[in-house]
Amino acid sequence: MKNISLSFLASVALLFITSCKKDIKPLDLNITPVSSISAPADNSDIQLQPATGASIVFKWSPAQTPDSGLILYEVAFDKADGDLSKPIYKILADGSGTQTQATVSQKDLNKMAALAGIQASSSGNIKWGVLASKGTNVKISTETRSLQIERPAGFATVPDSLFIFGTATEAGNDPVNAIPLKKIADGVFELYTSLGAGSYLLTDKRNANGNEYYIDVNSSNVIKSGTTPTEISGTTKAYRLRYDFNVATSEETEIKSIGLYQSANNAEIGQLTYAGNSTWQIDSLPVVFVQFSWGRDDRYKFFMHTSAGVEYYGSTNADNVPPAGQPQSYFYLVPVTNDQWSNTYKFDPSADNHSVKVDVYFKSSGPYTHKVTVL
């Protein structure tokens, strides 16, 4: 019985395997390429504004397959004289590749225009079409179109981090010691530092392998890729440096001094000087609160004197309490108005009729802040 049962089971298994083999059908990879493109119109002129511009929607008719199987789509881009067989850029269609349209950001269009050889602040043509695929079978659309792209000033791909080094900087000429800048927006960086006679470069890495940039002083101080150092002459001064890679612009604003403003006097009672390492300080400043009928007033904030005018820095709070027991955010510095009383801090009560040491930190490593020490 045991032998008969095993034989019977073997026969059933063989029959099952044979039946399965008969049911397996080869995958039909046949596909008819996209034959019609509907948007954008051929030779459309697109003036790119990557930071604010709306996305562009590319549309086409569906490809065909005998068994109505799943078809995936990509929009392919190439140089004006390319044939899309080796596209310079591809973007998956909406719906993870299943829809007959693709929503393409102007940031991506800017990247592909750069890959096609179109320089910043200039225009040129790129070719595009649709790739329809089923399995390993990929078909290029029978219709292709052109776009005229007008690129803005700026970089198609902006750095995620930025450092400064060189003989004109506080870091010296070794990129390993380069000073990091604060990233204040995508592609926008800021640093409070000093520059003296010498030269400097910007880099996106703290080593010798980073992408380097310089400021072309002969072309409206635009940012350019390259290793030509930016030259600085004259005495060492404190600056706020800002670099916007989205539009390739740079700004160097001299910081002449920072004044401590006492609200009750409606005047600055002392000037902080630059001490290096993004820090301004005054070692000893006499403080006397002002007597009013309701008590002695202890409010203050800061005036920054720059080559472009006066800027005002104070608290995120319109009204403040004394500093004892408050979190570090109490001392954060943010741009405020020149209102006599609003967005001020309060001295520690022990500062009245004493001297204080004041440090203001515009460091890239954290929030801008300050510290008052009663002497």
Dump the DSSP string for 16-56. HHHHHHHH--------BPP--EEESPTTEEEE--TTTPPPE
Q: How far apart are CA 182 and CA 234, in angstroms?
A: 26
What is the CATH code of the structural domain delimited by 37-150?
2.60.40
Q: How far apart are CA 359 and CA 280, in angstroms?
A: 6
Residue 309 in tokens? 């005018």
Q: How far apart are CA 205 and CA 165, in angstroms?
A: 11
Structure confidence at residue 26 (pLDDT): 59
Do domains 37-150 and 163-247 share one topology? The answer is yes
Closest CA to 57 of 71, 33, 73, 41: 41
Closest CA to 160 of 222, 110, 205, 223: 205
User: How open is the CA angle 242-246-251, to the nearest 5 degrees?
Assistant: 20
Q: How far apart are CA 247 and CA 187, in angstroms?
A: 9
State which fold the 163-247 domain adopts: Immunoglobulin-like (2.60.40)
The amino acid sitting at 201 is L
Q: How far apart are CA 79 and CA 124, in angstroms?
A: 9
Q: How far apart are CA 156 and CA 61, in angstroms?
A: 30
Any residues with CB less than 8 A from the CB of 133 and at least 6 apart, and which? 31, 71, 72, 73, 74, 139
Peptide bond into 40 cis (omega under 30): yes
Buried b (16+ CB within 10 A) or exposed e, 203-218: bbbbeeebebbbbeee
Residues of the chain short of pLDDT 50, as ranges, are 1-14, 16-17, 21-22
Cβ atoms of 314 and 336 closer than 8 Å: yes
Structure confidence at residue 28 (pLDDT): 67
Q: Domain-by-domain residue ranges, the chain?
A: 37-150, 163-247, 255-374
Residue 270: strand pairing partners: 260
Q: How far apart are CA 284 and CA 357, in angstroms?
A: 5
